[in-house]
Chain A
Amino acid sequence: MIVLTINGQETQVDVPDDMPLLWVLRDVIGLTGTKFGCGIAQCGACTVHLDGQAVRSCVLPVAGAVGKKVTTIEGVSGTDLGKKVQQAWLGIEVAQCGYCQTGQIMAATALLAQKPTPTDADIDTAMSGNLCRCGTYVRIRAAIKQAATGQMTLPQTIA
């Protein structure tokens, strides 16, 4: 039995030590907000927080999460910062298919927790590991800035 702390709750799972946290979350516990995109830490769709740090759960053996606080998209709105980021995502209308967005939001929240007013370079560093095939990058950048500054903008350019 492995004991995990997920979104503030203790959860027991009976899985092999080397099973990636992603599949424990999705297939065993049923938290499907964390997504599978590549399985090799190249896309960021599976990003969760481990003690506040953004990690790729597809390559994190579940044993590595023991004794640490796991936060998933389902739990991130429990923090002020998480809420703020989600609000910005809604405000900017970032999502298209939305599949990558939970991972993007987790990465962005971890960034803002470390750097409340990130520069463009900080955003590049923190977010370039998260792929979006729908190509929402321009709005992701805008949403992070909105979350940081609190200034509402609506992405719209009409001649």
Chain B
Amino acid sequence: MTHRTHPAEADTDLLDPSRRELLKRGGLVVAFMWLGGASRVWGLADSARIDAGHPQFAPNAYVRIGNDGSVQLVMPSIEMGQGAYTGQATLLAEELDVGLDQITVEHAPANRKLYANPLLGEQATGGSTTIRYCWTTLRNAGAAARSMLVSAAAQRWKVDASQCTASRGLVTHAPTGRTLRYAELADAAAKLLPPDKAPLKDPSDFQLIGKPMRRVDTPGKVDGTLPFGIDIRVPGMKVATVQACPTLGGRVGAVDDTRARAIPGVLKVVKLDSAVAVIGEHFWAAKQGLEALDITWNRGANANFTTEQLFQDMAHASEHGTPIMGREVGHVDGVSGKAISATYQLPMLAHTTMEPLNTVVHVRPDACEIWVGTQVPARCVDVATKITGLPAERIMVHNQYMGGGFGRRLFEDSVEQAVAIAKQADYPVKVIWTREEDIAQDRYRPAYYDRISATLDGQGQPVAWTHRTTGASVMAVFAPGAMGKNGLDPDLVECAADLPYAIPNMRVDWVRHDMPAGVPVGWWRGVGPTHNVFVVESFVDELAHAAGKDPVAYRRDMLGDNPRARAVLELAVQKAGWGQGALPARHGRGIALAAPFGSYLCVVMDVEVSPQGEIRMKRAVAAVDCGTVINPNTVEAQIQGGLVFGWSAALYSGITLKGGAVEQRNFNDYRVLRLNETPPIEVYIVPSKEQPGGIGETGTVMAMPSLTNAIFAATGVRLRTLPIDTTALVQDKNALKAVMSAVSEPADIVGDVAAKARSLA
């Protein structure tokens, strides 16, 4: 990573590193302590009622300015590490004309009417949509508020509003130099009607958008004061932990809790349909109690289910199932040329967010209060209503910072379970899943089985392309309404049907093959594109190789009229030094290009593969065009983090089932990438004035193919199944006998395939 030295003069809007100092000067504090909930208005249905009785200016669902000088911004999307709060606050603050150091942020209450994300049709954070859907909404909201404050000032001064300007929470009447603070205008502005439409700034006037602003949530994350859901403590609260039937879809049979109840600190054993929980004075008592339970499980229909079975079934379905058309262009049949085909396979995946799932619930006769970090607050209200029988307005969800989401917290299963547990206690209960439970009871990214083929013309370029994906639909579970008319789950063909390349004849379809009932599936960072871009970009590499062409040149030729894709390709290639100088033996450089989530990315990777098959990632260079950049700091972080997340999966992760139960237990056997395995990652941003694109998942999408293509360049071995089987990369099987921790000598025998690939590169 290259670092640009921090320019001191540009510092005015950046957060001073010392939190204490900020507190002193009333600077940016992320006051996200919903713990004070008791003192707040209870059972809030919408933001208007929040403001009742509070002398403050709340022109819309997102902005509240108090006459005490407080500027509170309400965040429709939740923060789980992706920088959503900073991004959303930047959009609001830009048009509101306040500094990020002058605001506090707060999560929106559960309320679909006010805060639904139109791109997801739900009050939900996910799919790399936050900035894309907020881009206009939040700037409009900020601009409307500002125009009302300015009007209030103009009225006070009896001047024309056009003579007034706003900056950093201060309205100035330029001709006279008079000023008024927003705090002094809040009451008056509250009496005005919001304008139909307030003008937005010209991008050239942006003060905050596009600058590497400091994140609004960092200080509390660095000194440990920022509470995550798991840190919530409410008076009288007890702690529970839970185990569901290890065989997915199984039920609880008999429970003998004699030994568990004898453990000091164990308070209660709660038996649910599919899980058993132990409530204790603290987590340790609960955990020990849970371990001491003698549970007989009714393992149900999946008792003999295995992942081998799943892949066999998918392979069969891919041949014999009924495909649903994703996209058809031209006619793929009857195109003549050199035909190439391949089969790819991707495993089930777990999320393993760093913060294990947890929920604090207090069920009372007349109300239910929930503290949880969730990507779907409104759905949490739904399940609580279902379980408690209370009306929705008696359910209060206090959304919390999340220690990672990655799609796991788009599902409310753990919240539903926690409410069911807490319903049986007359005190608040914090339910914490162990890491083992987190892995054993995830909502898994489904496995996929893809068959892909192409026909190459005389120049080796593809003139026909077919791609059939086989696998389960997550959308059918998450939002059945979003399924296409023909039964298509659009997620399954995202980035497969819409390639950045121009191919005259294409057919992309999907054979739906759901998991057996009881095996839950879910969104996983990068969703459809993470799966499809691996297949597509690996296969494009295969085609380039078959055509005897350089993978970069080959892609260039396929791009047609796609300037944004071309620009990221050229930038990444130039920064990575593609084709400049030969690489040592068993070193390789790989590339991947795609346009996921409304952004364009190209990643070039360098790897070394030892003769024993050991993979060392040496360097990654990413070029990204994500349209208008809100915060380049976040863009860089998300690309870096996304790549690491994807490499983890490519190298190590895969959930396997045996007897219907997940075989992996914890980080010892669900392995993820560590610091010493992570290469330097350079991120270059292509300046753009386009609509903002998504960024949270794009790095993950690019990780797998850029890595496996680089491995191909280093070894000549094409990896079509994830996670990577390193034994396939052993140069000489006998070399295994000599595996030593000592550094491996560079190989002197190089397969001609690898040599060819390298000479091309």
Measured CB to CB, the residues of A under 8 A from B are 15-16, 19-20, 23, 26-28, 30, 32-40, 42-43, 45, 72-74, 77, 86-87, 89-91, 93-102, 105, 123-125, 127-142, 152-159
Q: Give the chain A neighbours of B17 by CB distance below 8 A.
A: 87, 90-91
Q: Give the chain A neighbours of B401 by CB distance below 8 A.
A: 97-98
B43 located at the interface, meaning its Cβ lies under 8 Å from any Cβ of chain A in the complex: no
CB atoms of B406 and A133 under 8 A apart:
yes
B194 to chain A minimum Cβ distance, whole angstroms, is 35
A123 to B220, CA, bound (A): 24
Stretch at the interface among B421-429, B551-559, B608-616, B675-683: B675-683
B227 located at the interface, meaning its Cβ lies under 8 Å from any Cβ of chain A in the complex: yes
A71 to B117, CA, bound (A): 43
From B18, B434, B435, B645, name the one whose CB has the most chain A CB atoms within 10 angstroms. Answer: B435
CB atoms of B231 and A95 under 8 A apart:
no
CB atoms of A30 and B686 under 8 A apart:
no
CB atoms of B3 and A156 under 8 A apart:
yes
CB atoms of A27 and B641 under 8 A apart:
no
Stretch at the interface among B196-204, B352-360, B375-383, B384-392: B352-360
- Chain B interface, >50% SS class: loop
Closest to A91 in B: B17
CB atoms of B283 and A26 under 8 A apart:
yes
CB atoms of B637 and A96 under 8 A apart:
yes
A-B contact pairs, 22 of them (CB 8 A): A23-B284, A27-B282, A28-B282, A32-B231, A33-B225, A40-B668, A42-B668, A73-B224, A95-B81, A97-B81, A97-B353, A98-B217, A98-B218, A128-B674, A131-B672, A133-B353, A133-B354, A135-B644, A139-B637, A155-B1, A158-B684, A159-B623
B646 to chain A minimum Cβ distance, whole angstroms, is 9
CB atoms of B680 and A138 under 8 A apart:
yes
B403 located at the interface, meaning its Cβ lies under 8 Å from any Cβ of chain A in the complex: yes
Q: Give the chain B neighbours of A93 by CB distance below 8 A.
A: 214-215, 218, 633, 637
Closest to A153 in B: B3
CB atoms of B228 and A156 under 8 A apart:
no
B212 located at the interface, meaning its Cβ lies under 8 Å from any Cβ of chain A in the complex: yes
B345 located at the interface, meaning its Cβ lies under 8 Å from any Cβ of chain A in the complex: no
B619 to chain A minimum Cβ distance, whole angstroms, is 11
CB atoms of B354 and A100 under 8 A apart:
yes
Please judge, given known A-B contacts A93-B214, A97-B402, A135-B645, whether A105 and B222 are in contact too, CB under 8 Å.
Answer: yes
A28 to B225, CA, bound (A): 17
B369 to chain A minimum Cβ distance, whole angstroms, is 19
CB atoms of B352 and A133 under 8 A apart:
yes
Further 13 A-B residue pairs, CB within 8 A, beyond A97-B401, A156-B4: A23-B283, A33-B225, A38-B435, A77-B223, A95-B81, A97-B403, A99-B228, A131-B674, A134-B404, A136-B640, A140-B675, A154-B5, A156-B636
CB atoms of A38 and B667 under 8 A apart:
yes
CB atoms of B404 and A97 under 8 A apart:
yes
A99 to B226, CA, bound (A): 10
Q: Give the chain A neighbours of B623 by CB distance below 8 A.
A: 159
Within 8 A of A (CB), among B649-682: 666-668, 672-678, 680-682
Q: Give the chain A neighbours of B141 by CB distance below 8 A.
A: none
CB atoms of B222 and A90 under 8 A apart:
yes
B233 located at the interface, meaning its Cβ lies under 8 Å from any Cβ of chain A in the complex: yes
Q: Give the chain A neighbours of B230 by CB distance below 8 A.
A: 32, 35-36
CB atoms of B435 and A97 under 8 A apart:
no
CB atoms of A99 and B224 under 8 A apart:
no
- Chain A interface, >50% SS class: loop
CB atoms of A137 and B644 under 8 A apart:
yes
A139 to chain B minimum Cβ distance, whole angstroms, is 7
Please judge, given known A-B contacts A20-B284, A133-B354, A154-B5, whether A27 and B636 are in contact too, CB under 8 Å.
Answer: no
B689 to chain A minimum Cβ distance, whole angstroms, is 15
CB atoms of A128 and B675 under 8 A apart:
yes
Please judge, given known A-B contacts A128-B675, A157-B1, whether A27 and B687 are in contact too, CB under 8 Å.
Answer: no
CB atoms of B676 and A30 under 8 A apart:
no
CB atoms of A97 and B282 under 8 A apart:
no
A37 to chain B minimum Cβ distance, whole angstroms, is 6
Within 8 A of A (CB), among B689-732: none
Please judge, given known A-B contacts A134-B641, A137-B644, A158-B632, whether A95 and B222 are in contact too, CB under 8 Å.
Answer: yes
A34 to chain B minimum Cβ distance, whole angstroms, is 7
A23 to B354, CA, bound (A): 17
CB atoms of B675 and A137 under 8 A apart:
yes
Closest to A43 in B: B667
Contact of A132 among B354, B668, B681 (CB under 8 A): B354
When each residue 329-362 of chain B gets 1 if its CB lies under 8 Å from chain A and 0 otherwise, what string results?
A: 0000000000000000000000011111000000
A150 to B85, CA, bound (A): 29
CB atoms of B355 and A35 under 8 A apart:
yes
Q: Give the chain A neighbours of B674 by CB distance below 8 A.
A: 128-129, 131, 137
B93 located at the interface, meaning its Cβ lies under 8 Å from any Cβ of chain A in the complex: no
A2 to B222, CA, bound (A): 29
A127 to chain B minimum Cβ distance, whole angstroms, is 5
Q: Give the chain B neighbours of A98 by CB distance below 8 A.
A: 81, 217-218, 220-222, 226, 228, 401, 403
CB atoms of B1 and A134 under 8 A apart:
no
Contact of A101 among B222, B677, B684 (CB under 8 A): B222
Contact of B81 among A89, A134, A156 (CB under 8 A): A134
Closest to A27 in B: B282
A55 to chain B minimum Cβ distance, whole angstroms, is 17
Closest to A82 in B: B223
CB atoms of A34 and B224 under 8 A apart:
yes
B153 to chain A minimum Cβ distance, whole angstroms, is 35
